[in-house]
Structure 1
Amino acid sequence: MPVRLRGSARDAAASSTACAYFGPRSRYANPFTVGVRSPLGPPLDAAKSVDLFVATLRGPVGHHYATWFARALHGLDLMCTCALDVPCHADVLLHLANRSHDHSSIRNRSLLEGPR
């Protein structure tokens, strides 16, 4: 079963497993950056950042991307710079890519189980 790993883009490229990098400056980076001040309040924490990412995927345009992510990432380990003990959007993408092909189950971060 694919897992979330911690590391850099260089680490992902050197990995002996099928691995995709999801951290900053990657094509899969979360647009909701931890620590950046939200227009509606304080800086985003990891959980809020992931919640916003999930909410985006549930929208009409986001649903298209969720389907694309699920197909493109199926079976891959995902590597990001996030600590493994905090929520990360890679957990969301692991869930999407490796669940049954029913693309209607994007709800919220609490449904996801990733390595802790």
Structure 2
Amino acid sequence: MVTRKPVRWSGSDAALKAVQVAFDVEEAVMDAVRTAAFDNHLSTSDQIRHILKLAVSKRPKRPRLTVSLTAQDYEILGERYDLPPEDRLAIKERVTQELVRFATPAKPGR
């Protein structure tokens, strides 16, 4: 039996053939690449592609931060925010608010 993929998936063929490569380098090299990526508003992956003079996608990327949270982390955050640990969406919203507060400098007189 031959399984055919949906037509809407055909655009992902190139991505499926790509292979992620990890480089074991000194901390100074990682810092230099990360700093350049930050300064150039690029992901570290795009910065490496830029350094290697490879094509970088012009498609805008959704700016986001990621973190891996364990069940224990949800327990801790649920307790902190007075939410049930199963309400992961509400916890995510509260974490987002906390990150925004972290990034927003306090104004004098507030």
Q: Which bracket does the TM-score occupy, shorter chain normalised? A: under 0.3
Give the alignment's TM-score, normalised by structure 1: 0.24
Relative contact order: is structure 1 or structure 2 higher (C-alpha 8 Å, sep ≥ 6)? Answer: 1
Give the alignment's TM-score, normalised by structure 2: 0.25
More strand by share: 1
